[in-house]
Amino acid sequence: MKKTLFIAIAAMVAFGFAGCKIKPKAIVNVVVTDKHGVKQVGQEVCLFSSSNWQAGESFRKPAFKERSEKTNDEGVATFEFSSIDFDLGRKATFYFAIFDAAGNLLDKEPRELRSGQSYEVQLVIR
């Protein structure tokens, strides 16, 4: 009887852990270049949620970003998203943008992301 109970509990625990697997994340590599195609090092790339971006021009400022990353020596800023960043774990739209020192928008790119996918976004300083 105890052996049967132990096997039943062990099976329930094993199936419970199998159902709680971690969902894959999305990765976005944002490449920043100037108008001549020269990759830009140390450029801040800002990430905005769709709701903040669509709230209006006054919210399209670096102060309202969700987060930001600086470009590396290859001119690439990498953003990683967990399943928490997605509506019901399926998809979400984010805006990637770069600004000058005065906060003026230089370039932007909206991107619909799906969990478990990788993306590349190009931003150009004009």
pLDDT digits (tens, 9 = 90+) for 8-18: 555 555 555 44
Tokens (6 digits) for 76: 């690439």
Task: State pLDDT tens for residues 1-51.
Answer: 555 644 555 555 555 544 455 555 889 999 999 999 999 999 999 999 888
Q: Which CATH architecture has domain 24-125?
A: Sandwich (2.60)
Q: What single string gives the DSSP state of each residue in 32-80?
A: EEETTSPBPSS-EEEEEEHHHHHT-GGG-SGGG-SEEEE--TTSEEEEE
Mean pLDDT of 78-94: 76
Q: Is the pTM of this model over 0.85?
A: no
